[in-house]
Structures are given as structure tokens and as C-alpha cells.
Structure 1
Amino acid sequence: MLVTDSINNTMLNDSELSTLRNRFKRDAELLMQTTTAGDKDEKSPEEKDAKPLPRINRHSVFWIVASIAVTYYVEFLQNIMENDNIKSWWFFVGLVLLGICLSLAMFCIVYLEWFKGIQNYDQEYPAIPPLTTAAFIAASCSFNIALWPVWSFFTPLILFTQFMGVVMLISLLG
């Protein structure tokens, strides 16, 4: 008799648990629907108070001026055109890789964003960001190898300054 009572209590508890579980599941689904609908329409107080960053700031101006100064003082363009110490094979590999990187970037910006209207192209074409990153890293390594005989250990600093200046200039234009 005692055994059957405990079995009946267990069965009763199981049915109570299932109804309780179903009720929580329904409530959770209802909560999820209301929070996702509310999140799209309302902004948090921090988002309402946040101001967009200005295009021209000290950071951008610093990198652009630094890039211009480095270009002038190390005679960057003249050395690229006339210096015989440049390892030309590595330089051309760097140019090809940089061309691939820029082509992928232009494909994303011009074609996908402007013509197709795809804002999240990294979700539509997930292979593009890693390919562009890999091409850029390989190009920067190739340029460092190619230009090392010209500027020695200053080469990475010079190339990084040039890169940051170009990036900041593009951000001001766009």
C-alpha cells in the first residue's frame, strides 16, 4: 500500500511538473516576443544621449600629418621609384596582394553596398573579410621585406604610419 501511494504521488508530481514547464515555456515565448519588438523601436537612454563622433578629430589629423611628414622626410616616393636596393620581386608580390585587398574592398563598398544595397555583406559573403585581411597582412609583410634594405628597422614604422595616414584620409572622405 505504501509503495502504491508513493508511485501515485510521483505520477502526480510529474504531471504537475509538465504543466508548470509548459506554462513557463509559454511565458518565456511571450516575454521574448515583447522584448524583441520593444528593442527595435526604443533606444536606451545612453543611446539617446550619445552623439556621433566628429569626422575630423585630433587622432585623424595626427595620422594624416604624420604620414605627410614621413613621406616628405624619408623621400618615400622618390625612394620607391629610384632606389636599386628594393627587392623588386617582393615589392611586386606586395603590389599584387594590395591590389587584391583593394579590389575586394571596392567590391564590398561600391558593388554590394551602393548598387545591391547590402549593408551586412560580411553575413552574405562570409569569406570576404578573412580573405581581405589575409591579403593585406601578406602584402604588408611583402612590402616590409622589399623595403627593408632601404630603411632597415624603420621600415615597419614608416609603412605603418603611411597606412594609418591613408586610412584616416579615407575615413574623412567617406
Structure 2
Amino acid sequence: MTINDDKQKKTMAGGLTDTELAKLRNRFKRDAELLLQPVSEEEEKSKEKADSKPLPRFNRHSVFWILASIGLTYYIDFFRVILENEDIKSWWFNVGLVLLGVCLSLATFCIVYLEWFKGIQHYDQEYPAIPPITTAAFIAASFSFNIALWPVWSFFTPVILFTQFMGVVMIISLLG
């Protein structure tokens, strides 16, 4: 073995010999060529099908929130408290009701009119102002309800309202 052969076998970069470095380069070149090859339409459609496969409507998550909401409504006598308790700050509660009405009206407009009657699936692209308006109105409504109901349930108010919200959302998701 000559000195030149010994130098070639010595490590080049990070402990790799010339032959190992060449193999690595060829492997990366092959992988890059595979990535750059055009994908057939059938493969794209199968990927889209796999990505768009809907989740099952009934799952543990939705059942949990629905049962938690029902149990909480029964346990704290939610509707009786809302209708009869004098500690509720009525001005904030009414503002929350109006803002919640705005949210529900926009959601009904999107789901019933745009999606069912007009057949528009991506209504957020047709009407880009609807999602931010609905979100802002919902956040303001939740703050209003928290302020209005704080004298009744104190620091449990956000937990109670969030549980009720999740229960309603899960019930609505079962309808759609």
C-alpha cells in the first residue's frame, strides 16, 4: 500500500472515506431526482382523497363535551339561574345576547343560505369579511357573558360557559 492510497483512505470530512462520500453523493442525487419527478394525477387524487376523508361524527371527544354540558346544565340548574337570578348584570347579559345573535345569524346565513341553497362550499373566499366579524362578535359576547354572570358563579363562570359552548358546538357538528 502506497502513501497516496493511504491518504485517499484517510477520512475526508467527518470520518467518511472517498468511496463512502461518493456513495452518499449518489444516494442524494437519486433521491433528488425522485422528488423532482412529476406526480401523476391518480397519485394526487388518492392523496387528496386520503387528506379529505372526514372524521367520524361520534367520537369520545364529542360525546365527552355533550355529556359534560348536559351534566353541568342539570347540576347547576343553568336555565333557572339565567332566568331567575337577580345578581346577573342585565346590561352585559343583553349585550352578550345581541352579539351571540349576530354570530348565530352569520353562521345560519353561511350554512343554510350559502352552502345549502347557493352551493358555495368555500364561503370565506366569496365573503371574506364574515369569519373575522363572526369571531370578533363571539369573543365580545363571551366577555359580556362572563362579566354578566360573574356575580353568580364567580371564578367558575369561564369554565361553565366554555363547557356549555363546547357542548353546543359538538351537538351542531353532529347535525352537519
Instruction: Tell me the CA shift for residue 39 of structure 1.
Output: 7.2
Match of 2:173, as an amino acid?
S
Runs of 4+ in structure 1 off by over 3 angstroms are none
Counterpart residue identity of residue 121, structure 1 = Y
Alignment of 1:51-62 (within 5 A): 52-62=54-64
Q: Which residue of 1 is the match for residue 33 of structure 2?
A: none
The match for 1:156 is 158
Name the structure 1 match of 2:98.
96
SS of 1:43's equivalent?
helix
Please identify which structure carries the higher helix content: 1
Segments of 5+ residues of structure 1 without an aligned counterpart are 1-30
SS class of match (1:42)? helix
Of the three residues 101, 123, 128, the one matched with 2:125 is 123
Aligned partners of 1:146 and 1:42: how far apart in 2?
Answer: 51
Give the total of aligned pairs.
Answer: 140
Alpha-carbon distance in structure 2 between the residues aligned to 1:118 and 1:43? 24
Aligned-residue CA RMSD in angstroms?
Answer: 2.4
- Establish whether residue 146 from structure 1 lines up as the match of residue 148 from structure 2: yes
Q: Aligned-pair distance for 1:54?
A: 1.5
Correspondent of 1:43 among 36, 41, 46: 46
Give, as a single letter, the amino acid of the residue that structure 2 aligns with 1:98.
L
Once the two structures are superposed, residues 129-156 of structure 1 have per-residue CA deviations (whole angstroms, 9 ceiling, x without a partner) of 0000000000000000000000000000
- CA distance in 2 between partners of 1:159 and 1:126 (Å): 28
Mapped to 2, the partners of 1:107 and 1:69 lie a distance apart of: 31
Q: Which structure 2 segments of 5+ residues have no match?
A: 1-35
Matched position secondary structure for 2:145: helix
TM-score by length of 2: 0.73
The corresponding residue for 2:14 is: none
Shift of 1:74: 0.9
TM-score (norm 1): 0.74
Cα separation, 2, equivalents of 1:40 and 1:46:
10
